[in-house]
Structure 1
Amino acid sequence: MSRWSFFLVLAWGLLLSGAAGAADFETPGVRRIELGADGGAPLPEIHIAPGLATVVFFDARIEPEHVVLDGRERFQRVGISEDHLALVPSATFREEERLRLEVRFHGGAVPERAAVMLVVDADRVERQVEVYRHPRTAESYRQEVAELKVVLSRLQREVEELRATRASDGIGAVVASLRGTDGFADTNVSYQDPGSGFQLQPKGLRIIHMAQSWTGLKLKLVLRQPGEDWTAAEAELLDEQGLSVKVRPPVQQMPVRFDQQADVVVPLDDPNALRKGRYTLKLSDAGGRRPVVIQGIEVP
Protein backbone atom coordinates (compact mmCIF):
# COMPACT_ATOMS: atom_id res chain seq x y z
CA MET A 1 0.00 0.00 0.00
CA SER A 2 1.40 3.37 -0.99
CA ARG A 3 1.95 6.12 1.52
CA TRP A 4 -0.70 8.20 -0.23
CA SER A 5 -3.25 5.34 0.07
CA PHE A 6 -2.52 5.04 3.78
CA PHE A 7 -3.13 8.73 4.38
CA LEU A 8 -6.27 8.56 2.23
CA VAL A 9 -7.74 5.77 4.38
CA LEU A 10 -6.76 7.66 7.52
CA ALA A 11 -8.46 10.79 6.22
CA TRP A 12 -11.64 8.85 5.46
CA GLY A 13 -11.68 7.42 8.96
CA LEU A 14 -11.29 10.85 10.51
CA LEU A 15 -14.02 12.32 8.34
CA LEU A 16 -16.50 9.54 9.08
CA SER A 17 -15.86 9.58 12.82
CA GLY A 18 -15.76 13.36 13.15
CA ALA A 19 -19.06 13.92 11.34
CA ALA A 20 -21.01 11.89 13.86
CA GLY A 21 -20.96 14.44 16.65
CA ALA A 22 -23.73 16.87 17.58
CA ALA A 23 -22.72 20.31 18.75
CA ASP A 24 -24.91 22.55 20.87
CA PHE A 25 -24.60 26.22 21.58
CA GLU A 26 -26.26 28.37 24.20
CA THR A 27 -27.36 31.99 24.04
CA PRO A 28 -29.06 33.84 26.91
CA GLY A 29 -32.62 32.56 27.33
CA VAL A 30 -32.48 30.28 24.27
CA ARG A 31 -30.83 26.89 23.91
CA ARG A 32 -29.51 26.11 20.43
CA ILE A 33 -28.76 22.54 19.35
CA GLU A 34 -27.06 21.65 16.08
CA LEU A 35 -27.38 18.09 14.82
CA GLY A 36 -24.88 16.49 12.46
CA ALA A 37 -25.98 14.57 9.39
CA ASP A 38 -24.60 11.30 10.77
CA GLY A 39 -25.96 9.44 13.78
CA GLY A 40 -24.07 7.57 16.47
CA ALA A 41 -23.45 10.43 18.92
CA PRO A 42 -25.22 10.58 22.32
CA LEU A 43 -28.63 12.25 22.14
CA PRO A 44 -28.65 15.95 23.07
CA GLU A 45 -30.50 16.60 26.34
CA ILE A 46 -33.31 19.12 26.89
CA HIS A 47 -34.28 19.85 30.51
CA ILE A 48 -37.97 20.06 31.36
CA ALA A 49 -39.94 20.55 34.62
CA PRO A 50 -43.51 19.77 35.75
CA GLY A 51 -45.96 22.64 35.20
CA LEU A 52 -43.54 24.68 33.05
CA ALA A 53 -43.75 24.94 29.28
CA THR A 54 -40.80 24.08 27.06
CA VAL A 55 -41.05 25.02 23.40
CA VAL A 56 -38.82 23.23 20.86
CA PHE A 57 -38.43 24.96 17.49
CA PHE A 58 -37.07 23.25 14.36
CA ASP A 59 -35.43 24.91 11.39
CA ALA A 60 -37.26 22.60 8.95
CA ARG A 61 -40.81 21.35 8.61
CA ILE A 62 -41.63 18.23 10.59
CA GLU A 63 -44.41 15.68 10.15
CA PRO A 64 -46.71 16.01 13.20
CA GLU A 65 -48.24 12.56 12.68
CA HIS A 66 -44.80 10.96 13.05
CA VAL A 67 -43.76 12.60 16.32
CA VAL A 68 -42.80 9.98 18.92
CA LEU A 69 -42.81 11.11 22.57
CA ASP A 70 -42.25 8.73 25.47
CA GLY A 71 -44.93 9.09 28.17
CA ARG A 72 -46.99 11.43 26.00
CA GLU A 73 -50.20 10.66 27.91
CA ARG A 74 -48.62 11.98 31.13
CA PHE A 75 -48.03 15.50 29.79
CA GLN A 76 -50.51 18.19 30.76
CA ARG A 77 -50.31 19.62 27.27
CA VAL A 78 -48.58 18.68 24.02
CA GLY A 79 -48.89 21.14 21.16
CA ILE A 80 -47.52 20.12 17.75
CA SER A 81 -47.19 22.19 14.60
CA GLU A 82 -45.10 21.87 11.45
CA ASP A 83 -42.12 23.69 12.92
CA HIS A 84 -42.32 23.44 16.72
CA LEU A 85 -43.51 21.48 19.77
CA ALA A 86 -44.89 22.90 23.04
CA LEU A 87 -44.56 20.57 26.03
CA VAL A 88 -45.96 21.00 29.55
CA PRO A 89 -45.06 18.06 31.83
CA SER A 90 -47.45 17.01 34.58
CA ALA A 91 -46.60 16.52 38.26
CA THR A 92 -46.41 12.74 37.67
CA PHE A 93 -42.89 13.03 36.31
CA ARG A 94 -40.03 12.26 38.69
CA GLU A 95 -36.80 14.22 38.94
CA GLU A 96 -34.11 12.95 36.51
CA GLU A 97 -36.64 10.88 34.57
CA ARG A 98 -35.61 10.56 30.93
CA LEU A 99 -37.94 10.59 27.91
CA ARG A 100 -37.06 10.21 24.24
CA LEU A 101 -38.50 12.67 21.72
CA GLU A 102 -38.18 11.87 18.02
CA VAL A 103 -39.43 13.81 15.01
CA ARG A 104 -39.45 13.15 11.27
CA PHE A 105 -38.69 15.89 8.74
CA HIS A 106 -40.41 16.61 5.46
CA GLY A 107 -38.47 15.96 2.23
CA GLY A 108 -35.70 13.51 1.43
CA ALA A 109 -32.76 15.22 3.13
CA VAL A 110 -30.58 13.39 5.63
CA PRO A 111 -30.99 13.08 8.55
CA GLU A 112 -34.61 12.13 7.91
CA ARG A 113 -35.24 11.96 11.66
CA ALA A 114 -33.92 13.73 14.73
CA ALA A 115 -34.10 12.69 18.36
CA VAL A 116 -33.38 14.36 21.70
CA MET A 117 -33.57 13.20 25.30
CA LEU A 118 -35.94 15.06 27.61
CA VAL A 119 -34.61 15.10 31.19
CA VAL A 120 -36.76 16.15 34.12
CA ASP A 121 -34.69 18.73 36.03
CA ALA A 122 -36.53 21.59 37.74
CA ASP A 123 -33.30 23.47 38.53
CA ARG A 124 -32.14 23.60 34.91
CA VAL A 125 -35.42 23.79 32.99
CA GLU A 126 -35.09 25.21 29.47
CA ARG A 127 -38.06 27.21 28.25
CA GLN A 128 -37.04 27.65 24.62
CA VAL A 129 -34.88 25.37 22.50
CA GLU A 130 -34.01 25.72 18.81
CA VAL A 131 -32.92 22.61 16.93
CA TYR A 132 -30.91 23.00 13.72
CA ARG A 133 -29.78 20.21 11.47
CA HIS A 134 -27.20 20.17 8.71
CA PRO A 135 -29.28 18.48 6.03
CA ARG A 136 -27.65 16.22 3.51
CA THR A 137 -29.34 14.66 0.51
CA ALA A 138 -29.56 10.91 0.13
CA GLU A 139 -27.89 11.30 -3.27
CA SER A 140 -24.81 12.81 -1.62
CA TYR A 141 -24.60 9.74 0.64
CA ARG A 142 -24.85 7.43 -2.37
CA GLN A 143 -22.12 9.37 -4.14
CA GLU A 144 -19.85 9.19 -1.08
CA VAL A 145 -20.41 5.44 -0.75
CA ALA A 146 -19.67 4.95 -4.45
CA GLU A 147 -16.45 6.98 -4.18
CA LEU A 148 -15.42 5.06 -1.06
CA LYS A 149 -16.01 1.75 -2.85
CA VAL A 150 -13.73 2.89 -5.68
CA VAL A 151 -11.01 3.85 -3.18
CA LEU A 152 -11.29 0.57 -1.29
CA SER A 153 -11.24 -1.42 -4.53
CA ARG A 154 -8.05 0.34 -5.61
CA LEU A 155 -6.43 -0.24 -2.23
CA GLN A 156 -7.36 -3.91 -2.39
CA ARG A 157 -5.73 -4.21 -5.80
CA GLU A 158 -2.60 -2.51 -4.46
CA VAL A 159 -2.45 -4.96 -1.55
CA GLU A 160 -2.81 -7.95 -3.90
CA GLU A 161 -0.14 -6.57 -6.21
CA LEU A 162 2.15 -5.97 -3.24
CA ARG A 163 1.66 -9.54 -2.03
CA ALA A 164 2.39 -10.93 -5.49
CA THR A 165 5.45 -8.71 -5.85
CA ARG A 166 6.82 -9.71 -2.44
CA ALA A 167 6.31 -13.40 -3.19
CA SER A 168 7.88 -13.07 -6.64
CA ASP A 169 10.82 -11.11 -5.27
CA GLY A 170 11.23 -13.69 -2.49
CA ILE A 171 11.79 -16.51 -5.00
CA GLY A 172 13.49 -14.60 -7.78
CA ALA A 173 15.85 -12.67 -5.55
CA VAL A 174 17.11 -15.80 -3.81
CA VAL A 175 17.80 -17.70 -7.02
CA ALA A 176 19.22 -14.67 -8.83
CA SER A 177 21.55 -13.87 -5.95
CA LEU A 178 22.93 -17.41 -5.92
CA ARG A 179 23.25 -18.27 -9.61
CA GLY A 180 26.74 -17.75 -10.98
CA THR A 181 28.42 -17.48 -7.60
CA ASP A 182 30.92 -19.84 -6.03
CA GLY A 183 29.34 -22.78 -4.24
CA PHE A 184 26.01 -22.45 -6.04
CA ALA A 185 24.25 -25.72 -6.93
CA ASP A 186 20.88 -26.33 -8.60
CA THR A 187 20.33 -30.09 -8.42
CA ASN A 188 17.46 -32.09 -9.84
CA VAL A 189 16.40 -34.88 -7.44
CA SER A 190 14.18 -37.94 -7.79
CA TYR A 191 11.10 -38.72 -5.71
CA GLN A 192 8.12 -41.04 -5.59
CA ASP A 193 4.95 -39.97 -7.38
CA PRO A 194 2.29 -39.39 -4.67
CA GLY A 195 -0.32 -41.13 -6.83
CA SER A 196 -3.85 -40.15 -7.78
CA GLY A 197 -4.96 -39.83 -4.15
CA PHE A 198 -3.73 -36.23 -4.09
CA GLN A 199 -5.22 -33.38 -6.09
CA LEU A 200 -1.79 -31.89 -6.79
CA GLN A 201 0.72 -33.39 -9.21
CA PRO A 202 4.46 -32.72 -8.74
CA LYS A 203 6.28 -31.85 -11.96
CA GLY A 204 9.82 -31.64 -10.67
CA LEU A 205 11.87 -31.12 -7.55
CA ARG A 206 15.21 -29.38 -7.25
CA ILE A 207 17.58 -28.49 -4.43
CA ILE A 208 18.98 -24.99 -4.60
CA HIS A 209 22.07 -24.64 -2.48
CA MET A 210 24.63 -21.99 -1.75
CA ALA A 211 27.39 -23.26 0.51
CA GLN A 212 27.19 -21.84 4.04
CA SER A 213 24.49 -19.41 2.92
CA TRP A 214 21.12 -20.77 1.82
CA THR A 215 19.43 -24.06 0.93
CA GLY A 216 15.89 -24.67 -0.25
CA LEU A 217 13.65 -27.19 -1.99
CA LYS A 218 11.99 -25.93 -5.17
CA LEU A 219 8.92 -27.98 -6.05
CA LYS A 220 6.89 -27.51 -9.25
CA LEU A 221 3.19 -28.35 -8.85
CA VAL A 222 0.01 -28.41 -10.94
CA LEU A 223 -3.62 -29.27 -10.13
CA ARG A 224 -4.71 -32.62 -11.58
CA GLN A 225 -8.25 -31.39 -12.30
CA PRO A 226 -10.22 -28.11 -12.28
CA GLY A 227 -10.75 -26.74 -8.81
CA GLU A 228 -9.92 -24.00 -6.34
CA ASP A 229 -6.45 -22.47 -6.60
CA TRP A 230 -3.92 -23.86 -4.13
CA THR A 231 -1.39 -21.95 -2.05
CA ALA A 232 1.00 -23.58 0.40
CA ALA A 233 0.63 -22.41 3.99
CA GLU A 234 2.74 -24.93 5.94
CA ALA A 235 5.63 -27.27 5.18
CA GLU A 236 7.28 -30.16 7.01
CA LEU A 237 10.43 -32.07 6.02
CA LEU A 238 11.24 -35.47 7.57
CA ASP A 239 14.40 -37.58 7.25
CA GLU A 240 14.58 -41.40 7.01
CA GLN A 241 14.18 -41.79 10.77
CA GLY A 242 11.08 -39.60 10.76
CA LEU A 243 12.91 -36.76 12.47
CA SER A 244 11.89 -33.26 11.49
CA VAL A 245 14.32 -31.06 9.60
CA LYS A 246 13.51 -27.49 10.51
CA VAL A 247 12.22 -25.45 7.57
CA ARG A 248 10.85 -21.96 7.14
CA PRO A 249 7.39 -21.07 5.80
CA PRO A 250 6.97 -21.89 2.10
CA VAL A 251 7.27 -19.12 -0.48
CA GLN A 252 5.10 -19.14 -3.58
CA GLN A 253 5.15 -16.81 -6.57
CA MET A 254 1.59 -17.56 -7.67
CA PRO A 255 -1.20 -20.01 -6.73
CA VAL A 256 -1.16 -23.51 -8.21
CA ARG A 257 -3.92 -23.77 -10.84
CA PHE A 258 -5.33 -26.39 -13.15
CA ASP A 259 -3.05 -26.88 -16.15
CA GLN A 260 -0.76 -24.07 -14.93
CA GLN A 261 2.40 -25.00 -13.08
CA ALA A 262 3.67 -22.98 -10.15
CA ASP A 263 6.80 -23.17 -7.99
CA VAL A 264 6.80 -23.60 -4.23
CA VAL A 265 10.08 -22.92 -2.47
CA VAL A 266 10.69 -24.37 1.01
CA PRO A 267 13.78 -22.75 2.61
CA LEU A 268 15.70 -24.71 5.23
CA ASP A 269 16.42 -23.05 8.53
CA ASP A 270 19.96 -24.48 8.50
CA PRO A 271 21.59 -24.41 5.04
CA ASN A 272 23.73 -27.45 5.95
CA ALA A 273 20.94 -29.58 7.45
CA LEU A 274 20.09 -31.42 4.23
CA ARG A 275 22.43 -34.43 4.16
CA LYS A 276 22.58 -37.44 1.88
CA GLY A 277 19.58 -39.73 2.29
CA ARG A 278 15.84 -40.10 1.71
CA TYR A 279 13.36 -37.46 2.80
CA THR A 280 9.63 -36.83 2.88
CA LEU A 281 8.16 -33.38 2.18
CA LYS A 282 4.67 -32.55 3.40
CA LEU A 283 2.85 -29.43 2.19
CA SER A 284 -0.61 -28.20 3.12
CA ASP A 285 -2.79 -25.23 2.34
CA ALA A 286 -4.62 -23.11 4.91
CA GLY A 287 -6.72 -25.44 7.04
CA GLY A 288 -4.93 -28.52 5.71
CA ARG A 289 -7.82 -29.41 3.41
CA ARG A 290 -5.67 -30.39 0.40
CA PRO A 291 -2.27 -31.72 1.51
CA VAL A 292 0.43 -33.12 -0.75
CA VAL A 293 3.10 -35.57 0.42
CA ILE A 294 6.27 -36.16 -1.59
CA GLN A 295 8.07 -39.30 -0.39
CA GLY A 296 11.33 -40.90 -1.40
CA ILE A 297 13.20 -37.67 -2.07
CA GLU A 298 16.76 -38.82 -2.83
CA VAL A 299 19.33 -36.28 -1.72
CA PRO A 300 22.72 -37.22 -3.27
Structure 2
Amino acid sequence: MPASSSAALLALTLLMGTTASAETPAPTWNAGVRQLELAAEPTGNEPEVHISPGVSTTLAFDAELLRDREGKAMVGLEKRESFVLVDAGQATLRLLPSDALKSGERLRLMVRFKDGAAPSFAAFTLVVHPVRAERLLEVHRAPRTAASYQREATEAKAEAQRCQEELERERAEREGPGGLTGLIAAGQLDNVGVATRRLTEAVAKSPGNTLVTLEVYSYRAAGRVVVTLVMENPQGAQPWSAVGAMLTDRTGMELKVLPVWQRGFVETDRTRQHIVVEAVATREEAQGPFTLKLWEAGAGRTVTLSGISFP
Protein backbone atom coordinates (compact mmCIF):
# COMPACT_ATOMS: atom_id res chain seq x y z
CA MET A 1 0.00 0.00 0.00
CA PRO A 2 1.41 3.45 -0.89
CA ALA A 3 2.67 5.59 2.00
CA SER A 4 0.07 8.28 1.33
CA SER A 5 -2.75 5.71 1.53
CA SER A 6 -1.36 4.30 4.76
CA ALA A 7 -1.11 7.77 6.24
CA ALA A 8 -4.69 8.57 5.22
CA LEU A 9 -5.93 5.35 6.81
CA LEU A 10 -4.03 6.20 9.98
CA ALA A 11 -5.67 9.62 10.04
CA LEU A 12 -9.12 8.06 9.62
CA THR A 13 -8.36 5.64 12.44
CA LEU A 14 -7.28 8.46 14.71
CA LEU A 15 -10.33 10.57 13.93
CA MET A 16 -12.66 7.59 14.42
CA GLY A 17 -11.04 6.86 17.76
CA THR A 18 -11.58 10.44 18.86
CA THR A 19 -15.21 10.40 17.83
CA ALA A 20 -15.91 7.07 19.44
CA SER A 21 -14.26 7.86 22.75
CA ALA A 22 -15.70 11.39 22.89
CA GLU A 23 -13.13 12.59 25.38
CA THR A 24 -13.76 15.89 27.06
CA PRO A 25 -11.28 18.44 25.71
CA ALA A 26 -8.82 20.08 28.03
CA PRO A 27 -9.81 23.60 29.06
CA THR A 28 -8.39 26.29 26.82
CA TRP A 29 -5.91 28.76 28.17
CA ASN A 30 -7.33 32.24 28.62
CA ALA A 31 -4.85 34.31 26.62
CA GLY A 32 -6.85 37.54 26.98
CA VAL A 33 -6.23 40.48 29.27
CA ARG A 34 -6.50 39.62 32.95
CA GLN A 35 -7.94 42.27 35.26
CA LEU A 36 -6.55 42.42 38.78
CA GLU A 37 -7.66 44.72 41.62
CA LEU A 38 -5.42 45.48 44.60
CA ALA A 39 -6.94 45.82 48.06
CA ALA A 40 -6.14 49.01 49.98
CA GLU A 41 -4.99 46.93 52.95
CA PRO A 42 -2.70 43.87 52.61
CA THR A 43 -4.66 40.60 52.72
CA GLY A 44 -1.73 38.20 52.86
CA ASN A 45 -2.84 36.51 49.64
CA GLU A 46 -0.49 37.43 46.82
CA PRO A 47 -1.97 37.01 43.32
CA GLU A 48 -0.37 34.29 41.21
CA VAL A 49 0.90 35.18 37.74
CA HIS A 50 1.91 32.42 35.32
CA ILE A 51 5.12 32.94 33.35
CA SER A 52 7.01 30.77 30.83
CA PRO A 53 10.59 30.73 29.54
CA GLY A 54 10.90 32.71 26.32
CA VAL A 55 7.42 34.27 26.62
CA SER A 56 6.92 37.92 27.56
CA THR A 57 4.55 38.83 30.41
CA THR A 58 3.57 42.49 30.90
CA LEU A 59 1.96 44.04 33.97
CA ALA A 60 0.27 47.40 33.32
CA PHE A 61 -0.46 49.51 36.40
CA ASP A 62 -2.81 52.47 36.79
CA ALA A 63 -0.22 54.37 38.87
CA GLU A 64 3.42 55.35 38.31
CA LEU A 65 6.13 53.13 39.75
CA LEU A 66 8.53 54.46 42.38
CA ARG A 67 12.09 55.08 41.15
CA ASP A 68 15.44 55.51 42.86
CA ARG A 69 17.80 58.47 42.55
CA GLU A 70 19.17 57.09 39.30
CA GLY A 71 15.69 56.92 37.81
CA LYS A 72 15.41 53.13 37.93
CA ALA A 73 12.11 51.61 39.01
CA MET A 74 12.31 49.93 42.41
CA VAL A 75 11.39 46.37 41.47
CA GLY A 76 12.05 43.46 43.83
CA LEU A 77 12.33 40.24 41.80
CA GLU A 78 13.51 36.90 43.12
CA LYS A 79 16.13 35.17 40.88
CA ARG A 80 16.37 38.26 38.70
CA GLU A 81 19.44 36.78 37.02
CA SER A 82 17.17 34.10 35.50
CA PHE A 83 15.32 36.68 33.40
CA VAL A 84 16.49 37.74 29.95
CA LEU A 85 14.67 41.06 30.33
CA VAL A 86 13.18 43.06 33.20
CA ASP A 87 11.94 46.28 31.60
CA ALA A 88 10.17 48.77 33.88
CA GLY A 89 8.42 51.72 32.23
CA GLN A 90 6.58 54.60 33.82
CA ALA A 91 3.64 52.39 34.77
CA THR A 92 4.47 49.04 33.17
CA LEU A 93 6.70 46.06 33.88
CA ARG A 94 7.70 43.56 31.20
CA LEU A 95 9.28 40.24 32.18
CA LEU A 96 10.98 37.78 29.85
CA PRO A 97 12.08 34.60 31.71
CA SER A 98 15.00 32.50 30.51
CA ASP A 99 15.29 28.73 30.18
CA ALA A 100 17.10 28.69 33.54
CA LEU A 101 13.70 28.72 35.27
CA LYS A 102 12.12 25.31 35.78
CA SER A 103 8.46 24.33 35.72
CA GLY A 104 6.76 24.74 39.09
CA GLU A 105 9.19 27.31 40.49
CA ARG A 106 7.58 30.10 42.48
CA LEU A 107 9.20 33.54 42.60
CA ARG A 108 8.20 36.69 44.46
CA LEU A 109 7.76 40.00 42.65
CA MET A 110 7.16 43.35 44.36
CA VAL A 111 6.80 46.90 43.00
CA ARG A 112 6.24 50.19 44.80
CA PHE A 113 4.14 53.12 43.66
CA LYS A 114 5.36 56.69 43.38
CA ASP A 115 2.50 58.65 44.98
CA GLY A 116 2.49 56.70 48.28
CA ALA A 117 -1.28 56.28 48.29
CA ALA A 118 -2.73 53.02 49.60
CA PRO A 119 -1.72 50.43 48.73
CA SER A 120 1.82 51.75 48.44
CA PHE A 121 3.13 48.50 46.93
CA ALA A 122 1.97 45.40 45.09
CA ALA A 123 3.33 41.86 45.57
CA PHE A 124 2.83 38.86 43.27
CA THR A 125 3.85 35.21 43.12
CA LEU A 126 5.26 34.27 39.73
CA VAL A 127 4.56 30.60 38.89
CA VAL A 128 6.67 29.04 36.13
CA HIS A 129 4.85 26.86 33.57
CA PRO A 130 6.55 25.11 30.63
CA VAL A 131 4.52 26.98 27.98
CA ARG A 132 1.45 28.68 29.46
CA ALA A 133 2.16 32.31 30.26
CA GLU A 134 -0.16 35.20 30.97
CA ARG A 135 0.67 37.81 28.35
CA LEU A 136 -0.95 40.94 29.82
CA LEU A 137 -2.31 41.86 33.25
CA GLU A 138 -3.99 45.18 34.00
CA VAL A 139 -3.42 45.91 37.68
CA HIS A 140 -5.89 48.37 39.22
CA ARG A 141 -5.22 50.18 42.46
CA ALA A 142 -7.95 52.78 42.06
CA PRO A 143 -11.58 51.75 41.37
CA ARG A 144 -11.87 50.30 37.89
CA THR A 145 -13.52 52.24 35.10
CA ALA A 146 -16.85 51.28 33.54
CA ALA A 147 -15.04 50.54 30.26
CA SER A 148 -12.78 48.05 32.05
CA TYR A 149 -15.77 46.17 33.49
CA GLN A 150 -17.54 46.27 30.14
CA ARG A 151 -14.52 44.78 28.36
CA GLU A 152 -14.26 42.02 30.95
CA ALA A 153 -17.98 41.25 30.64
CA THR A 154 -17.69 41.04 26.84
CA GLU A 155 -14.76 38.62 27.09
CA ALA A 156 -16.62 36.50 29.66
CA LYS A 157 -19.72 36.38 27.44
CA ALA A 158 -17.66 35.27 24.45
CA GLU A 159 -15.95 32.58 26.52
CA ALA A 160 -19.29 31.31 27.84
CA GLN A 161 -20.65 31.13 24.29
CA ARG A 162 -17.58 29.21 23.13
CA CYS A 163 -17.92 26.75 26.03
CA GLN A 164 -21.61 26.21 25.25
CA GLU A 165 -20.86 25.50 21.59
CA GLU A 166 -18.07 23.12 22.58
CA LEU A 167 -20.36 21.31 25.02
CA GLU A 168 -23.06 20.88 22.37
CA ARG A 169 -20.52 19.58 19.87
CA GLU A 170 -19.11 17.08 22.36
CA ARG A 171 -22.60 15.91 23.33
CA ALA A 172 -23.49 15.35 19.67
CA GLU A 173 -20.31 13.34 19.09
CA ARG A 174 -20.85 11.23 22.22
CA GLU A 175 -24.44 10.39 21.30
CA GLY A 176 -23.72 9.79 17.61
CA PRO A 177 -22.61 6.61 15.80
CA GLY A 178 -19.00 5.46 15.60
CA GLY A 179 -16.66 4.65 12.73
CA LEU A 180 -16.86 6.43 9.39
CA THR A 181 -20.57 7.02 9.95
CA GLY A 182 -19.72 8.92 13.11
CA LEU A 183 -17.18 11.07 11.28
CA ILE A 184 -19.72 11.96 8.62
CA ALA A 185 -22.45 12.59 11.20
CA ALA A 186 -20.13 14.88 13.15
CA GLY A 187 -19.25 16.78 10.00
CA GLN A 188 -15.59 15.78 10.20
CA LEU A 189 -15.45 13.95 6.88
CA ASP A 190 -16.60 15.51 3.64
CA ASN A 191 -16.14 14.56 -0.02
CA VAL A 192 -12.56 15.79 0.08
CA GLY A 193 -11.60 13.13 2.64
CA VAL A 194 -8.38 13.32 4.67
CA ALA A 195 -5.31 15.08 3.27
CA THR A 196 -1.83 14.04 4.44
CA ARG A 197 1.59 15.71 4.56
CA ARG A 198 4.97 14.34 5.66
CA LEU A 199 6.86 16.89 7.79
CA THR A 200 9.75 14.87 9.19
CA GLU A 201 12.45 16.79 7.30
CA ALA A 202 10.59 20.12 7.25
CA VAL A 203 10.14 20.77 10.97
CA ALA A 204 12.75 22.45 13.17
CA LYS A 205 13.46 20.74 16.48
CA SER A 206 14.38 22.73 19.59
CA PRO A 207 17.85 21.80 20.95
CA GLY A 208 16.32 21.40 24.42
CA ASN A 209 13.73 18.81 23.40
CA THR A 210 13.23 15.94 25.84
CA LEU A 211 12.46 13.34 23.16
CA VAL A 212 14.03 12.38 19.84
CA THR A 213 11.64 13.07 16.95
CA LEU A 214 11.77 10.33 14.32
CA GLU A 215 8.71 10.99 12.15
CA VAL A 216 6.16 13.80 11.80
CA TYR A 217 2.96 13.78 9.73
CA SER A 218 0.10 16.25 9.53
CA TYR A 219 -3.50 15.65 8.43
CA ARG A 220 -6.50 17.77 7.59
CA ALA A 221 -10.16 16.76 7.54
CA ALA A 222 -13.35 18.83 7.71
CA GLY A 223 -12.96 21.10 10.75
CA ARG A 224 -10.05 19.13 12.21
CA VAL A 225 -6.28 18.98 11.91
CA VAL A 226 -3.97 16.33 13.35
CA VAL A 227 -0.23 16.06 13.96
CA THR A 228 1.20 12.58 14.57
CA LEU A 229 4.68 12.08 15.99
CA VAL A 230 6.87 9.02 16.28
CA MET A 231 9.18 9.64 19.23
CA GLU A 232 11.74 7.87 21.37
CA ASN A 233 13.41 8.67 24.68
CA PRO A 234 17.19 9.18 24.90
CA GLN A 235 18.99 6.31 26.60
CA GLY A 236 18.86 6.66 30.38
CA ALA A 237 16.14 9.31 30.48
CA GLN A 238 13.05 8.96 32.64
CA PRO A 239 9.78 7.73 31.03
CA TRP A 240 7.79 10.58 29.49
CA SER A 241 4.09 11.19 28.89
CA ALA A 242 2.47 14.31 27.46
CA VAL A 243 -0.24 15.97 29.55
CA GLY A 244 -0.81 18.96 27.29
CA ALA A 245 -0.11 20.46 23.88
CA MET A 246 -0.32 23.84 22.20
CA LEU A 247 -0.37 24.83 18.52
CA THR A 248 0.31 28.53 17.88
CA ASP A 249 0.95 30.51 14.72
CA ARG A 250 3.42 33.38 14.23
CA THR A 251 0.98 35.91 15.69
CA GLY A 252 0.45 33.89 18.88
CA MET A 253 -3.03 32.70 17.84
CA GLU A 254 -3.72 29.33 19.44
CA LEU A 255 -5.75 26.50 17.96
CA LYS A 256 -8.28 24.62 20.09
CA VAL A 257 -6.32 21.46 20.97
CA LEU A 258 -8.12 18.31 22.15
CA PRO A 259 -6.60 15.93 24.75
CA VAL A 260 -3.31 14.47 23.58
CA TRP A 261 -3.45 10.77 22.67
CA GLN A 262 -0.53 8.53 23.55
CA ARG A 263 -0.56 4.75 23.75
CA GLY A 264 1.67 4.70 26.80
CA PHE A 265 4.79 6.22 28.33
CA VAL A 266 7.77 6.86 26.08
CA GLU A 267 10.12 4.45 27.80
CA THR A 268 13.91 4.45 28.07
CA ASP A 269 14.58 1.34 25.96
CA ARG A 270 14.35 3.32 22.68
CA THR A 271 10.95 1.80 21.92
CA ARG A 272 9.14 3.99 19.42
CA GLN A 273 5.93 5.63 20.60
CA HIS A 274 3.17 7.45 18.73
CA ILE A 275 1.84 10.77 20.05
CA VAL A 276 -1.21 12.34 18.41
CA VAL A 277 -2.27 15.98 18.72
CA GLU A 278 -5.67 16.93 17.29
CA ALA A 279 -7.17 20.41 17.05
CA VAL A 280 -10.50 21.90 16.02
CA ALA A 281 -9.78 24.33 13.17
CA THR A 282 -11.24 25.50 9.90
CA ARG A 283 -9.10 25.66 6.78
CA GLU A 284 -8.72 29.41 7.28
CA GLU A 285 -7.67 29.03 10.94
CA ALA A 286 -5.12 26.30 10.18
CA GLN A 287 -2.92 28.29 7.81
CA GLY A 288 0.62 27.73 9.03
CA PRO A 289 3.31 27.59 9.91
CA PHE A 290 2.60 26.61 13.51
CA THR A 291 4.76 25.81 16.50
CA LEU A 292 3.83 22.68 18.43
CA LYS A 293 4.71 22.44 22.11
CA LEU A 294 4.19 19.35 24.27
CA TRP A 295 4.81 19.12 27.99
CA GLU A 296 4.66 16.58 30.79
CA ALA A 297 3.43 16.92 34.36
CA GLY A 298 5.73 17.55 37.29
CA ALA A 299 9.23 18.36 36.06
CA GLY A 300 7.79 19.96 32.95
CA ARG A 301 10.15 18.50 30.31
CA THR A 302 9.03 19.76 26.92
CA VAL A 303 9.15 19.08 23.18
CA THR A 304 9.00 22.00 20.73
CA LEU A 305 8.69 21.64 16.96
CA SER A 306 8.36 24.63 14.63
CA GLY A 307 7.38 24.72 10.98
CA ILE A 308 4.24 22.62 11.40
CA SER A 309 1.92 23.03 8.40
CA PHE A 310 -1.22 21.28 7.23
CA PRO A 311 -2.15 20.06 3.72
TM bin (shorter chain): 0.3 to 0.5
Give the greater-gyration-radius structure (CA): 1
| TM-score normalised to structure 1 length | 0.37
Q: Which has the higher contact order (CA 8 A, sep 6+)?
A: 2
Which structure has more helix as a fraction of its residues?
A: 1
| TM-score normalised to structure 2 length | 0.36
